[in-house]
Amino acid sequence: MNKDENALWSIFGYLLSGLLVWGGIGYFVDRWLGYDRVFTLVGLLLGMGSALYLVWLRFGRHSG
C-alpha cells in the first residue's frame, strides 16, 4: 500500500510539473519570438513526454 500510494501522488506531481515547466518555457519562447502558441504546444508535449519518462524511470523499470 505504501509503495502504490506513494507512486500515485508522485506521478501526479511529476505530470503537473512537467507540463508547467516545459509548457511555461514554451510559452515564454512564444512571447519572445512572437509566435502564436507553437512553442507552447511543443513545450507541453515535451513536458508530458519527459514527465512520463521520469515516472517510468522511477516506478516502472524495477518492477517491469
Partner 1 sequence: MRLIHAATGEGFNPPSAKDFELPPFIEGVDWATKPILLAFLSVIFISVFFIAASRKAAVVPSKLQFAGEGVYNFVREGLGREIIGHDFLKFVPYLFTLFTFILVNNFFGIIPFLQFPTMSRVSFPYVLAAITFFIFHYVGIKKQGIVKYLREIMFMPGVPKPVYILLTPIEIATYFLVRPLTLSLRLFANMFAGHLLLLVFFLGGEHLLNGVLGLKLVSPFAFVIGIGLTFFEFMVQVLQAYIFTLLTALYIAGALADEH
Q: Considering the rule CB under 8 A, would residue 44 count as an interface residue with partner 1?
A: no
With b meaning 16 or more CB within 10 Å and e meaning fewer, what string describes 33-54?
eeeeeebbebbbebbeebbeeb
Shortest Cβ distance from residue 32 to partner 1 (Å)?
17
Residue 33 binds to partner 1 (criterion: CB under 8 A): no
User: What whole-number distance in Å separates Cα of residue 10 and Cα of residue 8?
Assistant: 6
The residues of the shown chain that bind partner 1, judged by CB under 8 A, are: 1-2, 5-6, 9-10, 12-14, 16-18, 20-22, 25, 46-47, 50-51, 53-54, 57-58, 61
